[in-house]
Chain A
Amino acid sequence: MSNKPIYDREHHVKKATGIGDPQCFAGEASPARFNVGDRVRVRDLPDLFYTRTQTYLRGTECTVSAVVYESPAAEDEAWDNTDQVEWFYSLVFRQSDLWPDYPQAFGGDTLETELPERWLESA
């Protein structure tokens, strides 16, 4: 059973005030599946209602640069569902992996962004 008060629309305020969001979710996630330096791939999951995982990232391999914080994923939090807290990762992509025609002269260029664990699989 979730101990979240069912009809309390202020539960998030009560939980986060004075602590911060995402800080208020610290300690709630299962151990992180990935570590800094791991190669991972962004999964191409369906997103029926809401997502913050950009289409341009999907299916692309990247490297974990930091394990940043614990939080519900946007897909759940948009509906005030905070039951599944998971780790978020900062990820570095090579621009040439994201955009096939990225100029070769600038092959070292990269892009960094964060994603929740559910969107990642080992590469």
Chain B
Amino acid sequence: MSDDHKHAPMVDEVSEFEILEIAVRELAIEKGLFTQEDHNTWTEYMHTLGPLPAARLVAKAWLDPEFKKLAVEDGVKASLEVGIDWVRTMPTRFGTPSDYCSFRVMEDTPTLKHVVVCTLCSCYPRPILGQSPEWYRTPNYRRRLVRWPRQVLSEFGLQLSEEVEVRVVDSNQKSRFVVLPVRPEGTEGWTEDQLTEIITRDCLIGVAVPKPGKTANDPRPVRKALKPYSH
């Protein structure tokens, strides 16, 4: 423990963007576009979201072949084991257009590598993986991943040999997907907690593979589209 007391770092400055966010929200509430109460409910729900439950699901699957079988066959049921109830979860309790209750876990093998995209919009398994990263939503990623998957993966630092089948999963209907990657070497005897740490969000989308010692996502430079996307 440090003995000189320091305040937690904070930004003591109000930015134009912060003001704009509040102004937009207040006006929308006054005009009845939504209520403060509904906004609070969503905010609380979003505070609970993150990639941890999906990481734990994969770690459990690595450790327990029976659980892996369940995860691949019935992702919604397997999610209950990591505390995610797709059906009764906030906020709608039946799935919104972006959070339908069909959840599929795509199992990689040494010769098959899945990677997920939503070419139409940005469908993402939010209840179990949190909010999508910005690059996932860009037209650039969505358009190029289906067409040039290996090029995009190598931009994420993932180069795969020609013996590996790259399978792009286009999440365009009611199923949401995460990737169950191959358990890496060097993790023998690890606990579920240790394994969970190396299963990053990017590993669960499929643009990275887990490695011992690697517990964070790499920064992703966002590339501007050269040709505008046609919806």
Contacts and interface: CB of A to CB of B under 8 A. Distances in A.
> Do A and B touch each other in the complex, judged by CB within 8 A?
yes
A109 interface: yes
Contact of A19 (B87, B171, B173): B87
B146 to A, nearest CB: 6
Query: Is chain A's interface secondary structure helix, strand, loop, or mixed overall?
Result: mixed
A17 B93 contact: yes
Contacts, number: 98
B174 interface: yes
A64 B76 CA distance: 22
Interface in B62-87: 76, 86-87
Residue from A24, A71, A98, A112 having most chain B Cβ neighbours under 10 A: A112
Contacts of B102: 22, 68-69
B169 A22 contact: no
Given A54-B120, A110-B167, A114-B172, A24 B94 contact: yes
Interface string A1-32: 00000000000010011111111100000000
Interface in B152-168: 162, 165-168
A52 interface: yes
Contacts of A123: none
A99 B147 contact: yes
Contact of A115 (B95, B169, B173): B173
Contacts of A24: 94
Contacts of A68: 102, 104, 175
Contacts of A98: 146
A109 B95 contact: no
B149 interface: yes
A81 interface: no
Q: How large is the interface on A (under 10, 10 to 19, 20 to 34, 35 or more residues)?
A: 35 or more
Nearest to B100: A21
A112 B166 contact: no
B150 interface: yes
B119 interface: yes
A35 interface: no
A54 B170 contact: yes
Contacts of B169: 111-113
Contacts of B87: 18-20, 23
B88 interface: yes
Given A92-B167, A110-B165, A111-B167, A20 B173 contact: no
A59 to B, nearest CB: 16
B101 A88 contact: no
A20 B175 contact: no
A56 to B, nearest CB: 7
- What are the nearest 5 A-B pairs in CB distance? A20-B101, A16-B94, A20-B87, A113-B170, A114-B173
24 contacts: A17-B92, A21-B100, A22-B102, A24-B94, A53-B172, A54-B119, A54-B172, A56-B146, A69-B174, A71-B174, A90-B175, A92-B167, A99-B147, A106-B166, A108-B162, A109-B165, A109-B168, A111-B146, A111-B168, A112-B114, A112-B167, A113-B173, A114-B175, A116-B173
